[in-house]
Amino acid sequence: MSSSPLEDIRARIAGAAEAAGREPGDVTLVAVSKQQPWDKIAPVLDAGQRVFGENRVQEAMARWAETRDRIELRLIGPLQSNKAKDAVTFFDVIETLDREKLARALAEEMARQGRTPRLYVQVNTGEEPQKAGVIPPDADAFIALVRATYGFEIEGLMCIPPEAEPPGPHFALLAKIAARNGIAKLSMGMSADFETAIRFGATSVRVGSALFGQR
């Protein structure tokens, strides 16, 4: 009997959760549809997947214009302040808050539009210069700042570990930063390492190529 990639990923999520003594339902699959043709996405949507991740605002708006109200959409790529308006309009969740200028732009747009997308702070756990995210030594202060200055409720933390390193220590570090800041949700783990991320407490995993094929 053949199973679809979606069924296979769901089963692996459930298996990893159970192995970690967690409820499979506590881990959300975010299907990363960036750069994928619609004929790859449609079957996954039809099979009942409802949470999707995109890394570019304009690309997401084009792809999801007609089906937007059927899904929860998460922004998982770096966000420029001048795109804050469209991001607040179009996304349910913004996972890449990482600097005060962006926080200010989002706060202004949220007030103007009367919309409150759920927010995650991205942490650059590997302190890689080319990568977005607040570095770990600055994370507590940044979270405190956006809570106090903009009244943001930070739903979770997000990270993308360095490609050349074992991801476990990065996932553990993100979980530790979340715990000491009273943050419950952890967006971590991609196609290559989502089972490891679940073992370290991921509450959502962002899976693209393992679900849709290579981009």
User: Could you say whether residue 94 binds ligand PLP (CB under 6 A)?
Assistant: no
User: Which CB sits closer to ligand PLP, 150 or 188?
Assistant: 188
Contact 88, 67 (CB under 8 A): no
Q: End-to-end alpha-carbon separation of the chain, Å?
A: 27
User: Could you say whether residue 99 binds ligand PLP (CB under 6 A)?
Assistant: no
Adjacent-strand bridge partners of 53: 32, 74
User: Could you say whether residue 199 binds ligand PLP (CB under 6 A)?
Assistant: no
User: Which CB sits closer to ligand PLP, 150 or 189?
Assistant: 189
Distance CA 65, CA 114 (A): 21
DSSP 101: H
User: Could you say whether residue 209 binds ligand PLP (CB under 6 A)?
Assistant: yes
Adjacent-strand bridge partners of 52: 31, 73
Binders of ligand PLP among 128-167, rule CB under 6 A? 160
**Could you say which of 10, 170, 185, 206 contacts ligand PLP (CB under 6 A)?**
206
Distance CA 205, CA 138 (A): 24
Strand, coil or helix: 122: strand
User: Could you say whether residue 76 binds ligand PLP (CB under 6 A)?
Assistant: yes
Report in angstroms how near the CB of residue 192 gets to ligand PLP at its nearest.
Answer: 6
User: Could you say whether residue 77 binds ligand PLP (CB under 6 A)?
Assistant: yes
Distance CA 132, CA 124 (A): 6
Report in angstroms how near the CB of residue 112 gets to ligand PLP at its nearest.
Answer: 27
Nearest to 175 by CA among 163, 165, 183: 183
Cα 187 → chain centroid: 5
Identify which range of 99-107, 149-157, 170-178, 203-211 contacts ligand PLP by CB under 6 A. Answer: 203-211
Identify which range of 6-14, 98-106, 130-138, 204-212 contacts ligand PLP by CB under 6 A. Answer: 204-212
Binders of ligand PLP among 54-73, rule CB under 6 A? 55
Give the CB-side neighbour count of residue 29, counting CA atoms within 13 A: 27
Report in angstroms how near the CB of residue 151 gets to ligand PLP at its nearest.
Answer: 26
The residue ranges that bind ligand PLP (CB under 6 A) are 32, 34, 55, 76-77, 160, 190-192, 206-210
